[in-house]
Chains A and B, each alone.
Chain A
Amino acid sequence: MTNLPKSNRRQFLKAGALLGTGLVISFVVPARITKFGESAEPDPVASFAPNAYLSIGSDGGINVLLSHVEMGQGIWTTLTMLIADELDADWKNIHVHHAPPGQPYMHTLYGLQITGGSSSTWSEFDRYRQAGATARMLLIAAGAKKFGVDPATCKTENGMVISGEQKASYGDLATLAASLPAPAKVELRPASDWKYIGKGLKRLDAPAKVNGTAKFGMDMQFPGMLTAVVAHSPVMGGTVKSFDATAAKAVPGVKAVVQIPTGVAVLADHFWAAKKGKAALKITWDAGANASFNSVTQMEKYRALAATKGLPALNKGNVESALSQGGKVIEASYDFPYLAHAPMEPMNCTVKLGADKCEIWTGTQLPGIDQAVAAKILGFKPEQVSIDTVFLGGGFGRRATPTSDFVAEAVHIAKASGKFIKMVWTREDDMQGGYYRAAFHHKLKIGVDNNGYPTAWNHSIVGQSIFEGTFLSMLVQNGIDSSSVEGIADSPYMTEVKDAYVGLHTTKLPISVLWYRSVGHTHTAFVMETIIDQLATEAGKDPLEFRRTLLKSHPRHLAALNLAAEKAGWGKALPAGHFHGIAVHESFLSFVGQVVEVSVTNGRVNVHKVTCAIDCGLAVNPDGVKAQMESGIIFGITMALYGEINFKDGKVQQTNFHNYPILRMNESPEIDVHIVASTEKMGGAGECGVPPTAPAIANAVFAATGKRIRKPPFASIT
């Protein structure tokens, strides 16, 4: 923060950074960001860059650099609000950009540059405000110097420094401010002075998204660029044995065909020619380890495993003896399939490879890892690889692979062909390309007391680990991948249970798995919230009251649960044939309760209304939080009713939206979101809306039909 540039050229910062893999990187913070494809001309506008997050040009333009990427969650607006609240800037002059890979943009907690874990707002809350406050103090100091007054007499207003009758714009003060030493101490404004935080602001990215000008990775176009489409093995993980490209090369527009580690790429003048070329390829595949992999037999194996004792994720008392005392025991088991993220924009990546540098344009949640992976493939240093992150057409975790799969593939194509390429996956490539939410099996035995409350809990979980073997392997401890058991081992319902054992079996399979919006909570919340519901109904108790009793020492769960129940009118009469289901779950430091109104007609599940309450502490952009709840709920309904990826002989059976349906407008319920007024610790919003939805629907389906759902998806009840 002390490194204030005087020059009007690009500011060059060097930083030794540990990027997970121990890479030392240096990087450039542009004083003025170039537009896509624009060459990096010397900046004509003198600028003031008090830190890596913000620069102010002498033309008054304010560039905000985001350490987190915009994939729909609204961080483009929220992080900018944090800076703007301290800076007193004029909104008209603010330009927002994704940051390049670099040390200042590392996650404040995770130590790598990542957008994920619903952590962007709370983890940047201080850093981005400080960035704005530092700049404002320097601008005030510059104003005071220019006016010849004491800084204490100066104030700021909407992009101006003012002292008495004297005024100067931030742009006019930028050069002078750049020559001043950084303030030793930065004071943040008290909450009472916030103009935006807690009140909100309309999305800054929306105007470009309603007129077609917003640029996604898919939209990258440059002179001389070819489009590459890849033929992937039909069996996941298979490799090319041999291929004949004669017919493919004869397709008009096809320019080259190259083999890469993951298949065969066809390069053409445009997508259509490349796709036709791919169809004309004759490839003999070596199916590899997955040739006989089937979802059905996999689940049978998982069930057998679940009957044996797994590694302890939670172990208290003596569950076996507690369960053999002759009291009432409730047993249940659940199957969960693989799930594809299916963001609206299929994976893609544009690569321009030169002799000693590589330029990459893509929508990514993990730019630093992508940079490192690309550099490794090319034998380059990371700083020889630039990553220009454009808008992500949805992420949900898919655009953060520890292997940088889609970036790596595109880099391999550029390397093998020597061409400037945009790799475009078809929907089928995307759907069948792996990195799924893992399939899981749960088996439970719960002993209850005379009032039906749980006293002994034996819980077996079987599934693949996400973190094992990745740069996040430290999140696997004593054989327990925390993401496989989150929401169960740490469930508030376990507090009062005297004897409990949560055992985990981590399976090893050559199917790639990945975090998926709300990660482990996608299945663990379903199990917990449906089984608690079952305990309630078996005890003849109201599911809301039953939860209130169990959660009595968990005020934030209770607040979300009670607000949702109150707003939904829990217990009041509903239209004929409509039933309520309820669920509450904590994830990503936030607490969400939901009440779902459902009917089941001719075996078909209809979701009419979802009432949601969230306690995320301070909601920096309340309407943004509401939008994320709506988004999470609809994601959760898709998962509950439709989500399923199956394998047969190693081949993914789903291909496109006709056999991997996504909830549509005509099925989309009314959604009513309420934010708990809370001064508790801040949590996330991007994911926590998802977990309660599916179990709440399943609980409503039970109320409607008397059937307990153990195996999502469940669009139709037979």
Chain B
Amino acid sequence: MVYKLKVNKKDYSVDATPDMPLLWVLRDLLGLTGTKFGCGMAQCGACTVHLEGEAVRSCVTLIARAAGKEVTTIEGLSPDSKHPLQVAWLEEDTPQCGYCQSGQIMAAAVLLRENADPTDEDIDHAMSGNICRCGTYPRIRKAIHLAAKLQKQGGTK
């Protein structure tokens, strides 16, 4: 079946079966490999993308549900990689292996949009669906706090 998709503000049409998860559409059909496969069952958050602005686990989001809606992946978070989270992430030297980081940043982006000044508890709540086997949690926490500050200062968009 042919589906119309809007990913990172670009229109695509893809031929896929209705049961195909958005993750594999993005990665294998559209070549957007920034979104990662970690578990395939909504356990790890590596595949987190935005669907109409909400963080979803693309490994369990069927293409039929995403069709016609706005999808944003890590590649489309910012045109110049200068989202406050990306700036803060670098400042705190957050990534290690890096494999979970796209999903972490996409989850944090929704938190930061909804909550300009998240507490540690808010961060726990928003981020505990995302596993980092390298244990970058302390730096992710710091980076989110820093990004909140940067966002407030408006120094970066």
A residues bordering B, Cβ < 8 Å?
70-74, 202-203, 205-216, 218-219, 221, 227, 252, 269-272, 342-346, 391-396, 424, 426-427, 623, 627, 630-635, 656-658, 662-668, 670-671
Contacts and interface: CB of A to CB of B under 8 A. Distances in A.
A631 B140 CA distance: 12
26 contacts: A72-B134, A74-B96, A203-B95, A206-B98, A207-B81, A210-B95, A212-B74, A212-B102, A270-B24, A270-B29, A271-B24, A344-B36, A344-B132, A345-B97, A630-B138, A632-B135, A656-B40, A662-B133, A664-B129, A665-B123, A665-B127, A666-B127, A667-B128, A668-B137, A668-B141, A670-B138
Given A221-B28, A272-B20, 9 more contacts: A210-B101, A210-B105, A270-B29, A393-B36, A394-B97, A394-B99, A427-B40, A631-B135, A665-B124
B28 A209 contact: no
A74 B93 CA distance: 10
Contacts, number: 181
Nearest to A214: B98
Contact of B98 (A72, A342, A670): A72
Nearest to B132: A344
Contacts of A424: 37
A394 B94 CA distance: 15
A658 B38 CA distance: 12
Interface in B98-144: 98-102, 105, 123-125, 127-141
A393 B95 contact: no
A657 B134 contact: no
B44 A206 contact: no
A393 B98 contact: yes
A427 B39 contact: yes
B33 A215 contact: yes
Nearest to A657: B43
B139 to A, nearest CB: 7
A658 B41 CA distance: 9
Q: How many of chain B's residues touch chain A, expressed as a range?
A: 35 or more
Given A213-B34, A270-B28, A206 B89 contact: yes
Nearest to B107: A665
A627 B93 contact: yes
B67 interface: no
Given A202-B93, A345-B97, A394 B39 contact: no
Contacts of B152: none
A212 B75 contact: yes
B33 A219 contact: yes
Contacts of B99: 216, 343-345, 393-394
Given A658-B41, A662-B131, A211 B95 contact: no
B46 interface: yes
Contact of B39 (A396, A657, A663): A657
